[in-house]
């Protein structure tokens, strides 16, 4: 007989591994059977991590299911940002948007892109840091990766950009240096072409919580630079068009 899945126990194990800066293989974990179980575990992990910021990442599973996870630790570069570095940490340049009004769950006509754009009050340059307690991240079990807050291990919010960046980000010159070395230099490219693709899909997810996508929420929209491994601590400089973002990742 299969032992019942315990989302609280999975969350506790993920939390302890994160606290210790350790990773274990997918096969050593009890796996969520579905997205509901994965999100239960994620919610327990969010509580264990003491997360209170209203900042979120959105992506889509290999099966096309839109999913979210909270961003933590969350910092704003204007006040100086320093995110703890961990071995295996990856970096992504992203665009974040702030909602100026609610996008409630709809049962009738789905949201289109224009609806989502109209709900956005501001856009920003941002940087996401990722390292999962799961060694393979989401490549073996995306549901387990979802439980582990989709691998998020930090987010730095940079300068506000013109809201039109949600239409023009692709192709914008992007250069990133880390510890004095260039780690990305080329046009900004989102995996889906459009930075709002995953947010529109999540807005149209009838199973998302009623409390999601409320006015004031900050949502980061996916990488523009791929995921680059940060092999050591150090200062990060991002130049996106004419906008810049500077912060550090440091050993705790």
Range of the domain at 31: 7-251
Q: What is the pLDDT of residue 1?
A: 36
* CA distance to 68, 161, 162, per residue, from 243 (Å): 27, 8, 10
3-state secondary structure of 32: coil
**In this structure, is residue 205 part of a structural domain?**
yes
* CA distance to 7, 27, 44, 184, 215, per residue, from 24 (Å): 17, 8, 19, 29, 37
Cβ-based neighbour number of residue 67 at 10 Å: 23
* Exposed e or buried b per residue across 173-203, where buried means at least 16 C-beta atoms within 10 angstroms of its C-beta: ebbbbbeeeebbeeebbbeeebbbbbbbbbb
**In this structure, is residue 1 part of a structural domain?**
no
Residue 67 has pLDDT above 80, yes or no: yes
Q: What is the pLDDT of residue 158?
A: 97
pLDDT bracket for residue 78 (50, 70, 90) = confident
Tell me what the mean pLDDT of segment 207-233 comes to: 96
**In this structure, is residue 134 part of a structural domain?**
yes
| Cβ(196)–Cβ(221) below 8 Å | yes
Phi, psi dihedral angles at 250 (to 5 degrees): -130, 150
- Give the H or E element holding residue 91: strand 90-99
Our count of domains for the chain comes to 1
Residue 34 has pLDDT above 70, yes or no: yes
| Residue pointed to by tokens 């409390």 | 211
CA 7/CA 22 separation, integer angstroms: 20
pLDDT bracket for residue 53 (50, 70, 90) = confident
Scanning 127-170, the segments in alpha helix (DSSP H) are 142-147, 165-168
CA 4/CA 11 separation, integer angstroms: 15
**In this structure, is residue 2 part of a structural domain?**
no
CA 23/CA 246 separation, integer angstroms: 28
| Cβ(68)–Cβ(212) below 8 Å | yes
| Cβ(35)–Cβ(196) below 8 Å | no
Instruction: Tell me what percent of the residues of the chain surpass a pLDDT of 90.
Output: 92
| Cβ(39)–Cβ(176) below 8 Å | no
- Give the H or E element holding residue 202: helix 197-203
| Cβ(148)–Cβ(12) below 8 Å | no
CA 76/CA 60 separation, integer angstroms: 26
Q: Judging by beta carbons within 10 Å of its beta carbon (0-12, 13-18, 19+), is residue 2 exposed, middle or buried?
A: exposed
Handedness of CA 222, 228, 232, 234 (dihedral sign): negative
Q: Which of 3-7, 24-28, 102-106, 200-204 has the lowest mean pLDDT?
A: 3-7
Q: What CATH number does the domain containing 238 carry?
A: 3.90.850.10
Residue 80 has pLDDT above 80, yes or no: no
Token pair of 177, please?
């240096």
**In this structure, is residue 117 part of a structural domain?**
yes
**In this structure, is residue 197 part of a structural domain?**
yes
Q: What is the pLDDT of residue 4?
A: 87
């Amino acid at each position: 007989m299969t032992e019942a899945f315990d989302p609280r126990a999975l969350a506790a194990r993920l939390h302890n591994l994160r606290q210790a800066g350790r990773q274990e293989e997918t096969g050593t974990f009890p796996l969520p059977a579905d997205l509901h179980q994965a999100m239960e575990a994620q919610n327990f992990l969010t509580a264990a991590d003491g997360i209170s910021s209203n900042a979120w990442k959105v992506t889509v599973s290999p099966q096309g299911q839109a999913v979210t996870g909270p961003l933590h630790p969350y910092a704003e570069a204007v006040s100086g940002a320093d995110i703890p570095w961990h071995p295996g940490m990856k970096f992504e340049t992203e665009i974040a948007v702030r909602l100026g009004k609610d996008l409630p769950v709809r049962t009738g006509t789905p949201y289109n892109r224009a609806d989502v754009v109209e709900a956005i009050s501001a856009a920003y340059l941002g940087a996401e840091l990722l390292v999962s307690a799961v060694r393979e991240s989401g490549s073996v079990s995306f549901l387990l990766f979802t439980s582990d807050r989709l691998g998020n291990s930090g987010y730095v919010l940079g300068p506000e950009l013109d809201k039109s960046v949600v239409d023009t980000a692709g192709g914008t010159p992007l250069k990133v240096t880390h510890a004095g070395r260039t780690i990305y230099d080329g046009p900004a490219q989102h995996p889906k072409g459009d930075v709002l693709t995953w947010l529109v899909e999540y807005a149209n997810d009838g199973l998302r919580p009623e409390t999601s996508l409320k006015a004031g929420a900050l949502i980061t929209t996916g990488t523009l630079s791929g995921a680059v491994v940060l092999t050591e601590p150090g200062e990060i400089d991002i130049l996106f068009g004419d906008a810049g973002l500077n912060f550090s990742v440091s050993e705790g």
